[in-house]
Amino acid sequence: MQQLPLSIDLTGRRAVLIGSSAAAAAKARLLLGAGATVMWIPDRSGDQPFQSLSDAHATTAPFDAAALTPDVIRRSLHDAVLFVIATSRRDEDERISALLRADGRIVNVVDRPDLSTVTFPAIVDRGSVTVGISTGGASPLLAQRIRRVIEGILPNGIGRVADLASEFRQTVASHVSDSVERRRFWNRIIDGPVAAKAQAGQLAEARQDMIAALNTFEFDHSAAGGRVDIVGAGPGDPDLLTLKAHRLLSQADVILYDRLAGPGVLGLARRDAELIDVGKAPGDHRMGQKGINALMVARAQSGQRVVRLKGGDPNTFGRGGEELEYLRDHGIDATVVPGITSAAGCAAAAGFPLTHRDHASQVVFVTGHAKDGGAETDWSGLATGERTIVVYMGLARVRDIVSRLVSAGMSPFTPAAIVDRGTWADQRIFRGVLSDLPLMVDQETIQGPALLVIGSVTTLADAPQWRSHLQQTAS
């Protein structure tokens, strides 16, 4: 984050607008719309586009921009909270900005972020709800494009929900003193029919339902008990999260996350959420499964909303079923939110399908890490036939996996690939043959999370051929 976004209450406060350009006129409308008292200081361009400045909340200074000096700024503009500069001359913009910045003032120079201490975002205006999109002045066009996307998904009536919340904020605080329970109450209101009615303009009904919800809450605090949502983070790219996963991350009090959850995903959590790393890597189990289970139960029993965040899909080699069973056995309200499994995400990122009429009529997901004392994967049953084999958690046993498949009859020249950190910003894709896989892991220092993919679909990958035995044989 290069700049900190802030919301300034300008109601009844003085903002100074310097310049007579069309850009200055646009800023005048924005400042007046925010409730500011605008003082306009014209320049000498002769362009006078300010019909709106006859407004009671706008005045014209008795001097022009050329008269601005440090003494004038301190004497006549001492109470101004914001200065906006949009003259018709670059050198004048630079001179006035330097004067104001030297005096410690908050300054925006239109289209000159290098001369500004603040920049104006693109704004989505929904009454009491405003959304600002800023690129720090780098690309106003990009900010406007993002604004149009948000305008398309943000309901017009969302400001009425904020007005209702403001109306009842102190009442809720006095009735629900515990901060965790209070947050849960507001989540229930915002996600439920009260907010829906307010958004639709049914304000009287929304107020009645709000009062009823408060009365019910007073006599049923146990209903505000904690819960656990076991959430699939997908393969790592936060854009691949489901909408439900996104919402639960933004509501969670505490998030227990794996190392397989991409770093961008955690950025969607609430600022005040507690983030606990419970990730396990080969040889590094900082918290075993028993400890994770006990922690989930303890936090939920204390009334917190817990998200157990797992890479990929929780029910595909993610132990989601085991954790759900444990939570239910201990009386904890819990659900599983599926995620895009890593096989699907990584294949798409690498540019090859998992099935293809000319290459594979089946796809098989297997794990390279069996449960202690559990049954070993039947590699012999996978060695023949037109199928794609995706191996999760296979790096540590890659030599053994290759050896078992070759011993069972699979050609060592079967096309294969490794997708390292698939969908992450630093993903790497290596395409070769089955017998290359151990060398790839060693020579390319693949540390994961990574998938082994075996089958001819990998020849369609958007990656060059690795230094494979096929090429050596051909030469």
Catalytic residues: 258, 280
Strand partners, 146: none
Interacting residues of 441 by C-beta distance below 8 A, sequence separation 6+: 395, 398, 418
DSSP codes joined into one string, 221-265: GGGG--EEEEEE-BTS-GGGS-HHHHHHHHH-SEEEE-TTS-HHH
Strand partners, 99: none
Whether 82 and 16 have beta carbons less than 8 Å apart is answered as yes
Q: Helix (H, G, I), strand (E, B), or coil: what is residue 336? A: strand
- Nearest to residue 280, comparing CAs of 304, 294, 261, 266? 261
Q: Which two tokens stand for residue 80?
A: 């101004």
**CA–CA dist 239, 242 (Å, integer):** 8
Interacting residues of 400 by C-beta distance below 8 A, sequence separation 6+: none
415-420, strands of its sheet edge to edge? 362-367, 387-392, 450-454, 415-420, 428-433
CA 79 distance to own-chain centroid: 39
**CA–CA dist 84, 41 (Å, integer):** 10
Strand partners, 417: 431, 453
DSSP secondary structure code for residue 379 in this structure? G
Q: What sign for the dihedral angle of Cα 280, 317, 263, 232?
A: negative
- In angstroms, what is the C-alpha Rg of the chain? 30
**CA–CA dist 474, 236 (Å, integer):** 38
DSSP secondary structure code for residue 316 in this structure? T
**Number of CB atoms found within 10 A of residue 73's CB:** 19
**Number of CB atoms found within 10 A of residue 84's CB:** 25
Whether 97 and 115 have beta carbons less than 8 Å apart is answered as yes
Q: Which two tokens stand for residue 2?
A: 């290069």
